[in-house]
Structure 1
Amino acid sequence: MALHRNKSFVHIRDFYLIHTFLETGLRVAELASLKAGDFQSKSLTVQNGKGGKRRTVILSQATQKMLKQFLKIKKQILCEPTTCDAPLFISERKSHYTTRGIRKRIKFWFSKCNLPENLSCHSCRHTYVSHLIAAGVDLQTVRANVGHASLGTTSLYGYAVKEELGIELYQ
């Protein structure tokens, strides 16, 4: 437990924080506002997305398992509340994470992994969308999951994926 600081297991929380970003495509503000009760067995409910919109994010089986595991760890190891109205992610100071705090944690781990400095929380969102499109998920489902108002916004990722993977894969 190399990063066991002040009797908090920040590395455990951060691991799940990063995985949640990569596996859900949430915006930073959406992740910061998540409550434990927003996680149902197969989905996450974003209560206040961009433009004040509410949406349901469908989760893969691996992500469902990961979040169930996190809630168990949160309660048993981190000794944090898991009631429906409790924040899903709590900072080292045992307070609700701010968007700035989340960005700082993500940047910290990206730098520890020697990843390019231009990567950000939003890069995780791009990665999520790109992986869904590359896996053949239809654009309408991707659009609904990430909360894009326009299918045109989502389709831009499709062009980028085609460029990156090579057009021959799509013919």
Structure 2
Amino acid sequence: MEKIKSEFINYIKWDKELSSNTIESYKRDLNKFIKYLDENNINIALEEISQTNIISYMFYLEIQGKAPSTISRNLASIRSFYQYLLNEGLIKKDPTLNLKSPKNKKRSPGILTSNEINMLLDQPDTTNLKGVRDKAMLELLYAAGLKVSELLSLDLEDIDLNLGIVISSKNLLNERVIPIGKTAIKSIKLYLDEYRNKFVKEAKDNSIFLNYQGKKLTRQGFWKIIKYYKEKACIEKKITPRTLRHSFAVHLIDNGADLKSVQAMLGHADISSTQIYMQEDKKRLNEVYNNAHPRA
């Protein structure tokens, strides 16, 4: 058994030229599988293992509280091993054939309440250069549900304040036009009309949001901005740029927006990606019911 495993490790190291981290992962997963077999008195050669044995091992990992991603990785390691054995003619049938990895459960995204959004967006000091820029960015991120990469890549031609729209992508296949409200328009207009030119170092630069060096803001730079205003607002929840995107979606649904419209604004190809936001809405409804109904 050890000899076969060693030959497999040499194969993925020298023939497949996998990274050292991947090789260690394969070794670790196979060792755990072998240990499981030993502890459960499954005293047969690895090449004689059945599909039932592998399914039992996956179930064992689940009982141990392992995440679906961990179980999937273990199955992938075992599958690679048995594909090697099959290709080498050491077995006649692959016991991992047709075995499906467990699906990762979609987690309900973290969101802010409307009050927390107001607290966060009210923090920038709009009497100075940085505060006006930061206010415009935060308002736009929440108003349009943009990804941070989309926000930071916006150019002047991507926004029309008269029409109240922002175009989120340079890729025509993925381009989407998103309406933005009057609060965001007001903040963005102030920044563009009176403050953006103070950041500009090169006249030909059309980027909307710039740093003090006249360059596009980085993701890391924007994360620091979010963290700064979170702490200033004394909000205890973890807040990332995606938190505002999630909050945008949930607040729209809370106020009666249909799922298809939210899907279009977020740019989700599959509506199942948008349906995750319904979970948060249902959870809050349950909380309201349990707190308010006399016989709940």
TM-score (normalizing by structure 1): 0.79
| Correspondence for 1:60 | 181
- Could you list the per-position Cα deviations for residues 54-112 of structure 1 after superposition, in whole angstroms to 9, with x for gaps in the alignment? 22112234333443333223357x4649x896111111322111111111111111122
- The one-letter amino acid of 1:45's match is I
Task: Work out which of the residue numbers 133, 140, 165 in structure 2 matches 1:43.
Answer: 165
* In structure 2, distance between residues paired with 1:91 and 1:99: 12
Aligned-partner SS, 2:177: strand
CA 1:147–1:58 in structure 2 vs 1: closer, same or farther (change >3 Å)? Answer: same
| Correspondence for 2:96 | none
Q: Does 1:135 align with 2:255?
A: yes
The answer to which structure, 1 or 2, has the higher relative contact order (CA under 8 A, 6+ apart) is: 1
Task: Work out which of the residue numbers 122, 139, 148 in structure 2 matches 1:28.
Answer: 148
CA 1:75–1:121 in structure 2 vs 1: closer, same or farther (change >3 Å)? Answer: closer
| Correspondence for 2:224 | 104
Q: Does 1:16 align with 2:141?
A: no
- The one-letter amino acid of 1:46's match is S
* In structure 1, distance between residues paired with 2:246 and 2:180: 17
CA 1:99–1:75 in structure 2 vs 1: closer, same or farther (change >3 Å)? Answer: closer
Number of residue pairs aligned between Structure 1 and Structure 2: 159
Conservation of the 8 A alpha-carbon contact between 2:226 and 2:239: no
* In structure 1, distance between residues paired with 2:277 and 2:149: 21
* In structure 2, distance between residues paired with 1:84 and 1:69: 21
Give structure 2 stretches of 5+ with no counterpart.
1-123, 290-296
* In structure 2, distance between residues paired with 1:61 and 1:117: 27
Deviation at 1:34, TM superposition (A): 0.6
RMSD: 2.7
CA 1:73–1:135 in structure 2 vs 1: closer, same or farther (change >3 Å)? Answer: farther
* In structure 2, distance between residues paired with 1:156 and 1:97: 30
* In structure 1, distance between residues paired with 2:129 and 2:248: 26
Give structure 1 stretches of 5+ with no counterpart.
none
Deviation at 1:138, TM superposition (A): 0.9
* In structure 2, distance between residues paired with 1:58 and 1:165: 28
Q: Does 1:72 align with 2:193?
A: yes
